[in-house]
Amino acid sequence: MKEKFLHFGTRLIRHELVSGSVYIFLGFLLASFLGFLVNLFLARNLSSSDYGIYASLLSLFTLASIPTQSIIPIVVRFATDFFAKSELDKASNFYFKVFRFVFVLSLLIFLAFITLSTPIENFLHLDNFWYVFLTGLSVSFSYLAIINVAFLQSLLKFSFVGFSYILNGAARLAITVVLVYLGFKVFGALIAIIFAILAPFLFQFIPLRFLFKQKRKIETKISGKEIIDYALPTTITTLSLMSLTSTDVILVKHFFSAETAGLYGGLSLIGKVIFYFTGPIPSVMFPLLIRRHNLGQNFHSLFYLALILVIVPSIAITIIYFIFPQFIVSLFLGGGSYLKIASLLGLFGIFLTIFSLINVFVNFFLSLKKTNIYLFVLFAAISQIVLINFFHSSFTQVIFDSLFVSLGLLIILFIFYIINYKNLVKTREKFTISPGLN
């Protein structure tokens, strides 16, 4: 029995979902942990009012930055083709075309933040224009930074990608601690985000410097329709998906007092520990599924494995939330007024567990170009906003709004999977864990 268990463990570790993406996985995981430490530090060193401001601005930053995730698969798709054919001149040409486009886009986004600063301040009950200014600047830089990440993935330089994630988290943590201790409070946290984006962005030019040495005389013709057909629904899907865990924080900041909203921000922080642990799984699964599908290989077993790797730790953490809520709140937030949210921790854990499973399903469908799922995810995001607007008398009611919507979306996505792949599942698929490609 022991030998079989060890053999199973060895095969699991060697499975491509883990071994094939170990640098990205560990880099993302450590960066997520460092990001969690940043939020933990801020929750314990800012007043609940200031932390409520920071949490709402961070959610706004997250929502505004989500479309960057739809840029990555588009860039990777075409850049990888150029590198595979050793067409470095075309790859260089493509890089600078993408850079120019994203630079203009990021500038427009920054100007949009400045233009809409007053409505944003009024909606979030902010009393300082510079909060919006710094948030808009950080969002703009995040768009530029994504270009280098996509090209590094195209070059299969996963070690650089993984280290970039770690560098981002480490820089953000160090700068946040220093600036907050110096008395900059929320401003310090926002400035840290900007420098945390710039540090890895500059570092990533080291392996990409050869692109600047190539002659860029050959035109790179890519179908605009092909890009838009994939990019538009993918952007809507990712934006709607992340809205499910960000909009509630923003709306609570709008409907509740600053102190009360800070408590909900703390609850959301602890609940998202589940996502910090499981979020890397679907992001690693995404390119592996594309490769298996294109080669005509078994990709459903990879999907099932991803579901298991997500659901096991999610349920385990949620159970801990139910059994030791006050201890967890005291551990992460230092107790005090935050103990008021302890009884809601388990319920919020259920919501995040369901959301984590949804994340796997969504990445699965997008990797196979089933972009029509954007209709389901968009409807769920809108439904959550509507429900919270009508039913927000308490935190419990807000959580149940999100829980109801997410559970409904998970059921719909499961049914959509059965409808599209039931024949394959019945006749061809068997769940196996192999050391390499099946």
438 residues of the chain, pLDDT tens digit each: 555 555 555 555 555 555 545 677 788 778 878 888 888 888 888 887 888 888 888 878 887 887 777 777 677 767 766 776 677 888 888 888 889 889 999 999 999 999 988 888 888 888 888 888 999 999 999 999 999 998 887 776 777 888 898 999 999 999 999 998 888 888 888 899 999 999 999 999 999 888 887 665 555 556 566 667 877 888 888 888 888 988 888 888 888 887 888 888 888 888 888 887 787 788 777 777 766 766 677 778 889 988 998 999 999 999 999 999 999 988 888 878 888 888 999 999 999 999 999 999 998 898 777 889 999 999 999 999 999 999 988 899 999 999 999 999 999 999 999 988 765 545 444 444 444 444
Token reading at 153: 């993935």
DSSP 329-368: HHHHH-SGGGGGGGGGHHHHHHHHHHHHHHHHHHHHHHHT
Q: How far is CA 345 from CA 339, 341, 356, 389, 396, in A?
A: 10, 7, 16, 22, 10
Quote the pLDDT of residue 368. Answer: 79
Residue 88: predicted pLDDT? 82
Domain boundary among 168, 187, 222: 222
- In a shared domain, residues 249 and 337: yes
pLDDT score at 80: 67
Dihedral sign of CA atoms 309, 281, 325, 393 in order? negative
Domain finish residue from 222, 252, 280: 222
Distance in angstroms (rounded) separating the CA atoms of residues 70 and 28: 18
Q: Which residue has the tokens 């996505």?
A: 413
Q: Do residues 79 and 139 both lie within one domain?
A: yes
CA distance 258 to 273: 23
Q: Which residue from 212, 57, 71 is spatially nearest to 135, judged by alpha carbons? A: 57
Q: Is residue 391 part of a domain?
A: yes
DSSP letter (8 states) at residue 218: S
Q: Which pLDDT value is given to residue 438? A: 43
The answer as to whether 115 is a domain residue is: yes
C-alpha distances in Å from residue 174, one per residue of 45, 160, 199, 403: 14, 21, 12, 35
Same domain, yes or no: 182 and 245: no
Is 46 among the domain residues?
yes
CA quadruple 262, 266, 271, 272: dihedral sign: positive
Q: Are residues 246 and 368 in the same domain?
A: yes
Domain contains 16 = no
Gap between the Cα atoms of 6 and 29, Å rounded: 25
| Residue 10, domain member (yes or no) | no
Q: Are 52 and 185 in contact (CB under 8 A)?
A: no
Looking at the fold, whether 252 and 395 belong to one and the same domain comes out as: yes
What does the pLDDT read at residue 253? 81
Tokens of 82: 């150029």
pLDDT of residue 429: 45
What is the residue range of 392's domain? 228-428
* Residue of 353, 334, 183, 352 whose CA lies nearest to 266: 334
Q: Is 228 exposed, middle or buried (0-12, 13-18, 19+ CB in 10 A)?
A: exposed
Asked if residue 1 belongs to a domain, the reply is no
Half-sphere exposure of 110 (CA within 13 A, CB side): 16
Residue 292 phi, psi (nearest 5): -60, -45
What is the C-alpha to C-alpha distance for residues 141 and 92, in angstroms, rounded to an integer?
21
**Same domain for 409 and 359:** yes
Q: Assess whether 267 and 243 both reside in one domain.
A: yes
Assess whether 389 and 260 both reside in one domain: yes
CA-to-CA dists, residue 236 to 17, 161, 306, 377, 404, angstroms: 27, 25, 23, 8, 21
Whole-model pTM?
Answer: 0.72
Q: Are residues 239 and 355 in the same domain?
A: yes
The per-residue pLDDT for 284 is 73
Q: Residue 433 falls within a domain, yes or no?
A: no
Residue where one domain finishes, among candidates 168, 193, 222: 222
Total count of domains within the chain: 2
Examine the domain organization and report whether 205 and 276 are in the same domain. no
Alpha helices for 211-344 (secondary structure H): 224-243, 247-255, 258-271, 273-278, 280-294, 300-323, 325-333
Do 269 and 295 lie in a common domain? yes
**CA–CA gap between residue 433 and residue 438 (Å, rounded):** 9
- Domain co-membership, 285 together with 364: yes
Residue 436 lies in a domain: no
